[in-house]
Structure 1
Amino acid sequence: MIAEISVIPIGKGIDLAGHVASIVKIIDESGLEYKLHAMGTLVEGESDRVFDLIKKCHNKMLELSERVYTTVKIDERKDKKTKMLEHKVLVVEKELGKSLKK
């Protein structure tokens, strides 16, 4: 399963790097594959572990803020055992015949 998660504290001002860092620390310590990007984090792993991680991240932000807005997008396939975090980009690059900016 791949999940894209974004956990946003509401009412904590404009600069949120410290809050985001506390969530990324949890993700990093989970041992799951992940990629941080400007608008969230992609996480890959077994579905129960990913869902548990999402809950931990959301609850941690609730400790730091009175209001939290969490978004989750999930892509899960039964027919592929490949690490999809990298594979999805590679197949698009193959179609285009070139490497993309990463």
Structure 2
Amino acid sequence: MIAEISVVPIGKGTDLARYVAKIVKIIDESGLDYKLNAMGTVIEGDSERVFDLIQKCHNKMLELSERVYTTVKIDERKDKKVNMLEHKVLAVEKELGKILKK
């Protein structure tokens, strides 16, 4: 399973890096594969561990803020056992015939 999450504290201003860093630390310490991007973080692992991690991230932000907005997108496949973090990008690059910016 891969899941993209974004955990945002509401009412904490416009510079949120210090809050996001606390969540990324939890993700990093989880041992799951992940990629941070400008709009969220994509996490890969078995569904139970990914869902548990999402809940930990959301709850941590609730400790830091009175209101939290969390979005989650999930892609889970039974037919392929590959690293989807890499596979999805490589498949598009193959179709385009070139390596994309990362």
Q: Which residue is equivalent to 1:91? A: 91
State whether structure 2 residue 60 is matched by structure 1 residue 60: yes
Q: Which residue is equivalent to 2:5? A: 5
User: After the TM superposition, which segments of 4 or more aligned residues of structure 1 sit over 4 Å from their partners?
Assistant: none
* Counterpart Cα distance in 2 of 1:90 and 1:57: 29
Name the TM-score, length of structure 1 as normaliser: 1.00
Unaligned runs of 5+ in 1: none
Unaligned runs of 5+ in 2: none
How large is the RMSD of aligned CA atoms in angstroms?
0.2
Number of matched pairs: 102
Q: Deviations over 1:66-88 (max 9, x none)?
A: 00000000000000000100000
* Counterpart Cα distance in 2 of 1:94 and 1:29: 32
Residue identity in the other structure for 2:63: E
Q: CA deviation at 1:28?
A: 0.1
Name the TM-score, length of structure 2 as normaliser: 1.00
* Counterpart Cα distance in 2 of 1:63 and 1:95: 44
